Amino acid sequence: MEVSRLTALADMDYEGKTFYFCSGGCWEAFETEPEKYLKRHRQHGQR
């Protein structure tokens, strides 16, 4: 899901990037296990 910084209810900086969230629940889930929600590029191992 994409969330605009203008409509986000929460945000968090992680590894030099800012992530925006639609709700506090999504923010809490990401805070607990951020790697679970970040996909790596198969070929380059980058997000």
Q: Tell me, what DSSP letter sits at residue 7?
A: T
- How far apart CA 12 and CA 45 sit, in angstroms, is 22
**Neighbouring C-beta atoms of residue 46, cutoff 10 Å:** 7
Question: Residue 28 has what pLDDT?
Answer: 96
Task: Provide the residue ranges of all domains of the chain, joining segments of one domain with +.
Answer: 1-41
Instruction: Tell me the per-residue pLDDT of 1-47, one tens digit each, with 9 for 90 and over.
Output: 788 999 999 999 999 999 999 999 999 999 999 988 887 656 555 55
Question: Residue 43 has what pLDDT?
Answer: 55
Question: Residue 46 has what pLDDT?
Answer: 55
Question: Residue 1 has what pLDDT?
Answer: 78
Question: Residue 44 has what pLDDT?
Answer: 55
